[in-house]
Structure 1
Amino acid sequence: MALGLVLAASFAVAAAWVIWQLCFSRLSAFPGPLAARLTDIPRAIAAASGHVDDVDRRRHQKYGNAVRTGPNSISFSDPSMIKVIYATKNAWRKSGMYRPNDVLMGKQRMSNIFNTQDNAWHDKAIRPIRGFWSMSKVLDVEPLVDETLKLLTHKLDQRFVSDGNVCPMDVWLSFFAWDVTANLTFGRHYGFIEQEKDVDNLITDSTKGLYYFAPVSQIPWIDYLLDKNPFVRIGPKPTLTGVLYAFGVVAQYQQEIKEKGKPAGSTEHYLDKYLELKKTDPEMVDDNQIVNWLMLNILAGGDTTSASMRATAYYLAKNPGNYKRLTDELDAARLALPAQWKDIRGLPYLEAVMQETIRYNPGIAMIFERVVPETGFTLPDGRYIPAGTNVGINPAVTNRDKEVFGQDADVFDADRWMRSDGESTEAFDARVARMRDVAEFTFGGGNRVCMGKALARLEMYKLFATLYSLYDIKLVDPSHEWKYHDAWFVYQWDMPMTISRRQRL
């Protein structure tokens, strides 16, 4: 009898909660899937599927520009909301979805500049190094990019051009992206290109960490039971491998300088720059702070740029018209190789290809979640979003907006970034400025925008100007479709390609 009463009471409470969520929730004005109104589990399942970008686009097509994705979360598809949610001043703080990206070392939980929810701490920590990331300062490390580019082209010639072997292009572009990041950051390669393998499983461990992060970030308290519990830690450990690697390199490099001094005439890399700050401001800058700064490079430098690099090679192979316009432009430019930024920054079709890649296949393709501030927020249509609600935008959604990018926004076509026949200069400039403004959200927005976007552009532009000046790069089977998994960063694979030397005019 007592058990029956308990069960009946439990059922009544559960039923009342469901009715409240469906009919009286503070977010009941926002449409969305029925299950999403009751639990975050559908969000986690979508993230685990590896195709949450498609899921988010379909949701907005069905439910409109503001979709309820969980009991306390809303997704937006209106590009005009970007500057509202991701403002520079009075920035909305990041939600708890980023917390699983913390590192647990012993009993100490370490946040980083990327995932901290404390905007004041973030701004204070980033201030000393912000000036290093403008394009004018990034160009200081261009010789280090050239070193890695020469190493890559040597290996491509040796392994695939001379012998005619099929190149797993996804693998080699990942090797380049990670090795060039290491060279710019530490003044040394990880060794992926030279050894032709994933050295110390750095890429594998990073990928596993993000495959874990993507679904767990949608129900972040689960991380306390899995990776952050004090007893038996379950699953991959996001960013731990990178943190341990960075601590090891910082200690080793400082010891080398102490014993041998810095090599004369060497190019200053980011670790050099940060160690100088340690000398000038020892009270603020210690090895922990330096590693926190270096993690910005390690966390995003390899994975995001390699995603965009793979997408560029794949979609050029899929679009012969875009491919030919690019190679014709490069031939006419008669570039010195490796391509130099001063020579390629003004090439309009190279710019068009890079912009279209960033738009069509953003390297990060999940919702950048923020928390509505204490004042709450009222949408232009009058709907009110209470304080504490998690809201955000997925660039994979806004980058396909047909009002901004045209009715063919679901098609890759670099020509959209070029002036059309009969289009006035003023109309073209306005159209491209609007497209660029939305597509730039791929790098985040406001006070948390990715500082490394100038560096990413430098690497990508130089890489493809060099590769497509030297080689014909094509899919073995033009009808072949790659595979991908969206796990915050987008991972693509299965890109078998042939590489042959081009006849440069």
Structure 2
Amino acid sequence: MDTSSGNIHRAISLVWNLKTVYFAYFSPLAKYPGPQTLAKFTKFWQLRVTLQKQGHHVYRELHAKYGPVVRIGPHSLSFDDARAVKAIYGSGAASFPRDSSFPAVGLNPDHLPVFFCIDGRAHQAARRKVGSAYTMTSILGMEDRIDSIVGALQSRLDEAAENGGFMDISEWIGYFSFDVISDLAYGQAFGCLATGGDVNGIVSGLQNGFLFPVLFSTFPGLFGALFSVLGRVAKPPDDAGIGLAIKMANNIVNERYQRPSDKRDLLNAFIGSKDPDGIAIHRDQVRGEVIATLVAGSDTTSLSIIGCLGYVLQHPDVHARLQEELSTVTFDKEIPSFRQLQALPYLTAVIQETLRLSPSIGGAFIRRVAVGGAEVLPGQYVPGGTVVGVNNWVFGRNTNFYGPDADQFRPQRWLESDQKTKMMKNYEFSFGHGARM
């Protein structure tokens, strides 16, 4: 019995070792250069780099050394080329599917929000149902709600200026963003600005837990199954953080269905959404969309604003020119409208340049090549099942695309020619690209 077990163990080890050696040195990906030998055999190299929180620098150095295609794992390639952006993140049902999606803890798997869809067809179908909620017309209909929270932030900043001393502007921008997103999604702000703090730990609860998404994104099969099982038997505590956000969503969605309101918010827009047959979408998808909006929209908004402020303050010439442009405009109210601000070319250029150099989601948007393979770059066919991606922080500094000064914060690049601006906008990649943007 022991001999038999030992033989089986040795056979399994032999098969595993042969498979590992094959993928490291003889698979179709073996021709691509990459980092240390460890990355050819296992994803633990990727895990280590991500946990160090320096992946954007590491991947940039790799592409500078090896070129536009780098092998970063047994089945993984990283690209830094504009043509790869279009090939990998094409729109519609033909787009490469996501490699994985986070376990939908607390959500109905039959009625998932757009954010959790993996393949292009499912994403397209889900987005078709709720797309009207995210249109510019819909969002502008809520502008007065945003203005009221902008006014609350302005009051807080005025108080700090009068009192003197030190204040952490990034902290207050974070509170502002959470209040805006929660007000738009839930129909009521969390109240972070009013209290001057993290209400019930919601902000920290959503921001913490860095290890979970890292483990899941690196080993989706293993940790996806693990967390899916745990999600059925263990729920996050509902008195703080993400658990409280989910509990609030459940209560508010149920109350809105029981007592309809004429509020102009995303919740009402989701409730009013219909599938192509004209049937209202399921309540569970409405709930999922509300939660996903909060999770995906709060931090990204605050990081974009903070990045913009940081670059402007670090570049006095940009600051001066921006002030000059703003001084030439007469606004019709204390808080300018989106339409008025959109008409300011230099302000727009400053925002675009910020998103290029400091994307709020800095990293690769992972996709998996469909069965049959695909031509990601001209003449380079990548086999099906390969995990591919473009790191937007790296691509934002691509000198072939943005010019030799790609490292510099220079908003003027967006105003030099209509053709150049149109091209850069066509490859805008700060929040993703294609249908999943």
TM-score, length-scaled by structure 1: 0.77
Matched, 1:384 2:377: no
In 1, Cα distance between equivalents of 2:14 and 2:274: 61
In 1, Cα distance between equivalents of 2:304 and 2:430: 11
Q: Secondary structure at the match of 2:435?
A: helix
The Cα shift of 1:359 comes to: 0.4
Q: Secondary structure at the match of 1:69?
A: strand
Matched, 1:96 2:99: yes
Tell me what 1:130 maps to.
131
Tell me what 2:396 maps to.
399
Tell me what 2:201 maps to.
201
Structure 1 residues 161-201: Cα deviation after superposition (integer angstroms, max 9, x where no partner): 11013120111111111111122222211111101111121
8 Å contact from structure 1 (residues 377, 384) kept in 2: yes
247, 251, 256: which one aligns with 1:248: 251
The one-letter code of the counterpart of 2:272 is E
Q: Structure 2 matches for 1:37-116, cutoff 5 A?
A: 37-98=40-101, 101-105=102-106, 111-116=112-117
Tell me what 1:170 maps to.
170
In 2, Cα distance between equivalents of 1:373 and 1:224: 20
Tell me what 1:21 maps to.
23
The one-letter code of the counterpart of 2:56 is D
Higher mean displacement: 196-205 or 120-129: 120-129
Higher mean displacement: 306-315 or 294-303: 294-303
Tell me what 2:220 maps to.
220
Tell me what 1:322 maps to.
318
The Cα shift of 1:292 comes to: 2.2
The Cα shift of 1:361 comes to: 0.3
Q: Which has the higher strand share?
A: 1
In 1, Cα distance between equivalents of 2:273 and 2:108: 29
Q: Secondary structure at the match of 2:85?
A: helix
Tell me what 2:345 maps to.
348
Q: Secondary structure at the match of 1:245?
A: helix
In 1, Cα distance between equivalents of 2:190 and 2:126: 27
Q: Secondary structure at the match of 1:343?
A: helix
8 Å contact from structure 1 (residues 93, 118) kept in 2: yes
Tell me what 1:433 maps to.
422
Higher mean displacement: 124-133 or 105-114: 105-114
8 Å contact from structure 2 (residues 356, 429) kept in 1: no
Q: Secondary structure at the match of 1:378?
A: strand
In 2, Cα distance between equivalents of 1:20 and 1:359: 39
In 2, Cα distance between equivalents of 1:120 and 1:91: 8
The Cα shift of 1:248 comes to: 2.0
8 Å contact from structure 2 (residues 215, 223) kept in 1: no
In 2, Cα distance between equivalents of 1:235 and 1:140: 34
In 2, Cα distance between equivalents of 1:87 and 1:331: 41
Tell me what 1:493 maps to.
none
In 2, Cα distance between equivalents of 1:243 and 1:164: 38
Structure 1 residues 305 and 107 mapped into 2: Cα distance closer, same or farther (>3 Å)?
closer
Q: Secondary structure at the match of 1:333?
A: coil
The Cα shift of 1:239 comes to: 5.9
Structure 1 residues 92 and 379 mapped into 2: Cα distance closer, same or farther (>3 Å)?
closer
Q: Secondary structure at the match of 1:430?
A: helix
Higher mean displacement: 363-372 or 113-122: 113-122
8 Å contact from structure 2 (residues 84, 376) kept in 1: no
8 Å contact from structure 2 (residues 113, 285) kept in 1: no
The Cα shift of 1:142 comes to: 0.9
Tell me what 1:445 maps to.
433
In 1, Cα distance between equivalents of 2:28 and 2:66: 18
Structure 1 residues 381 and 342 mapped into 2: Cα distance closer, same or farther (>3 Å)?
closer
Tell me what 1:362 maps to.
359
The Cα shift of 1:273 comes to: 2.2
Tell me what 1:161 maps to.
161
8 Å contact from structure 2 (residues 92, 124) kept in 1: no
Structure 1 residues 53-107: Cα deviation after superposition (integer angstroms, max 9, x where no partner): 1122112112211111111111110011111111124433433342xx2233399
8 Å contact from structure 1 (residues 104, 110) kept in 2: no
Structure 1 residues 294-353: Cα deviation after superposition (integer angstroms, max 9, x where no partner): 234212220111110111111111111111111121122133321112321111110011
Q: Secondary structure at the match of 1:212?
A: helix
Structure 1 residues 81-137: Cα deviation after superposition (integer angstroms, max 9, x where no partner): 111111124433433342xx2233399798532122133232222213212323233
In 2, Cα distance between equivalents of 1:8 and 1:128: 53
Runs of at least 5 residues in structure 2 that lack an aligned partner in the other structure: none
Structure 1 residues 7 and 293 mapped into 2: Cα distance closer, same or farther (>3 Å)?
closer
The one-letter code of the counterpart of 1:191 is G
8 Å contact from structure 1 (residues 369, 390) kept in 2: yes
The Cα shift of 1:51 comes to: 2.1
Matched, 1:298 2:294: yes
Structure 1 residues 355 and 172 mapped into 2: Cα distance closer, same or farther (>3 Å)?
same
8 Å contact from structure 2 (residues 80, 390) kept in 1: yes
Structure 1 residues 405-451: Cα deviation after superposition (integer angstroms, max 9, x where no partner): 221211222232233xxxxxxxx11122222222x2222222222xx
In 2, Cα distance between equivalents of 1:209 and 1:152: 28
Matched, 1:180 2:184: no
In 2, Cα distance between equivalents of 1:254 and 1:232: 28
Q: Secondary structure at the match of 2:355?
A: helix
Q: Structure 2 matches for 1:456-471, cutoff 5 A?
A: none
8 Å contact from structure 1 (residues 227, 236) kept in 2: no
Structure 1 residues 306 and 127 mapped into 2: Cα distance closer, same or farther (>3 Å)?
same
In 2, Cα distance between equivalents of 1:245 and 1:29: 51
RMSD: 3.1
In 2, Cα distance between equivalents of 1:132 and 1:234: 29
Aligned length: 430
